[in-house]
Chain A
């Protein structure tokens, strides 16, 4: 079975948790066994959002995940990026895993959004999904669906 890692950033942005649940749902339906790596606070939001683990079945602390990560551990990396630190984490996970990767970059400030996209473009070959978004996950979801479709074609 193909394995995907969904990497979450700081849970400050409201769109992240619903998009995390949605991405796990989509990836699972595409045949991936999905693990979500997150901070303890982002994990709490996921646990409350999906109390019976209907969608998110495998969760791991981001630091533990990073510590044990090796090339080949996952077939696909999906990282949520809405802070400078999340850019660094995504790029680091990308370089360790060396596999197909999608960066989901969202931010309400267009200048910051552009900076994050430029940093990822300049240091990885990842597919980038970017949207000016904060509360509303729809623009991110639509572009994420397109990127997944492209990946599967």
Chain B
């Protein structure tokens, strides 16, 4: 079954919200400060089944040791949040492949 971020956030408690109802730029700073490794993706790329929304290049945090990724999550009326959630190793490889290598 394909992983779906929307469903995961609704059904699981195994994630951390680092900041919420914030501006996009503030969220990117949070990801850069928090994650030991970052990659950058184009707006509209699909990660964990959802399109990533934001201003390019969009920073995605990766923590291979913890097995987590950290990403911005935007909703029209609620602004942007930063979510850190566990993903398997294979998914980290898929996400790294989206890096636009600035």
10 contacts between A and B (CB under 8 A): A39-B76, A85-B76, A88-B43, A91-B43, A91-B54, A92-B51, A95-B56, A96-B43, A123-B55, A123-B56
**B59 CB to nearest chain A CB (Å):** 13
Interface string of A32-74 (1 = CB under 8 A from B): 0000000101100000000000000000001000110100000
Interface pick from B8-16, B30-38, B77-85, B89-97: B77-85
Are A88 and B74 in contact (CB-based, < 8 A)? yes
Which residues from 4 to 54 on chain B have a C-beta closer than 8 Å to any C-beta of chain A? Answer: 23-25, 42-44, 51-54
**B8 CB to nearest chain A CB (Å):** 15
Are B53 and A83 in contact (CB-based, < 8 A)? no
Are A88 and B51 in contact (CB-based, < 8 A)? no
Are A62 and B51 in contact (CB-based, < 8 A)? no
Task: Report chain A residues within 8 Å CB of B65.
Answer: none
Tell me, in angstroms, the Cα distance from A69 to B43 when the chains sit together. 12
Q: B50's closest neighbor in chain A, by CB?
A: A67
Number of A-B contacts (CB under 8 A): 66
Residue A119 at the chain B interface, CB threshold 8 Å:
yes
**With A62-B76, A92-B51 in contact, is A87–B43 under 8 Å at CB?**
no
Task: Report chain B residues within 8 Å CB of A67.
Answer: 51
Tell me, in angstroms, the Cα distance from A123 to B23 when the chains sit together. 16
Which residues from 87 to 143 on chain A have a C-beta closer than 8 Å to any C-beta of chain B? Answer: 87-89, 91-92, 95-96, 119, 122-123
Given contacts A92-B51, A92-B52, A92-B54, 8 further A-B contacts (CB under 8 A): A41-B77, A84-B79, A85-B77, A88-B74, A91-B43, A95-B42, A119-B24, A119-B25
Tell me, in angstroms, the Cα distance from A123 to B74 when the chains sit together. 17
Number of interface residues, chain A, beta carbon within 8 A: 24
Tell me, in angstroms, the Cα distance from A83 to B44 when the chains sit together. 19
Are B77 and A88 in contact (CB-based, < 8 A)? no
Are A9 and B76 in contact (CB-based, < 8 A)? yes
4 closest A-B pairs by CB: A92-B43, A10-B77, A96-B44, A84-B23
Tell me, in angstroms, the Cα distance from A91 to B24 when the chains sit together. 12
**With A66-B51, A87-B24, A87-B55 in contact, is A92–B80 under 8 Å at CB?**
no
**With A91-B55, A92-B54, A123-B56 in contact, is A83–B43 under 8 Å at CB?**
no
Task: Report chain A residues within 8 Å CB of B56.
Answer: 91, 95, 123
Tell me, in angstroms, the Cα distance from A12 to B53 when the chains sit together. 20
